[in-house]
Amino acid sequence: MVGVGVNGYGTIGKRVADAIAAQPDMHVAGVAKRSPDVGAHSARSKGFGLYAPVDRVEHFEDAAVRVDGTVDDMIAASEVIVDATPGGVGAENAPRYAARDTPAVFQGAEDPAVAETSFVARANYASAVGAERVRVVSCNTTGLARLLAPIDERWGIERARVTLVRRGGDPAQPDRGPIDDILPDPIEVPSHHGPDVRTVLPNVRIDTMGVTVPATRMHLHAVSVTLGDDGAGRRVDVRDVRDCLADEPRIFLVPGDLGIESCGGLKEVAKDADRPRGDVWENCVWTDSIAVTDGEISCFQAIHQEADVVPENVDAVRAIAGLADAEESRRTTNEALGLDDRPTNVTAAGRELGAADD
Report CA-CA distances (Å) from 213 to 117, 151, 311: 31, 29, 26
Q: With H, G, I as helix, E, B as strand and everything else as coil, classify residue 173.
A: coil
Give the integer Cα–Cα distance in Å for 183 and 132. 38
Verify whether residue 299 is a known catalytic residue: no
Report CA-CA distances (Å) from 304 to 118, 246, 247, 284: 20, 19, 20, 9
Give the integer Cα–Cα distance in Å for 265 and 242. 21
Give the integer Cα–Cα distance in Å for 43 and 310. 17
Give the integer Cα–Cα distance in Å for 84 and 275. 22
Cβ-contact 298, 291 below 8 angstroms: yes
Give the integer Cα–Cα distance in Å for 263 and 302. 7
Distance of CA 72 to the CA centre of its chain: 27
Report CA-CA distances (Å) from 220 to 43, 94, 183, 329: 31, 32, 15, 28
Per the omega criterion (within 30 degrees of 0), is the bond before 190 cis? yes
Q: Give the residue numbers marked as catalytic.
A: 139
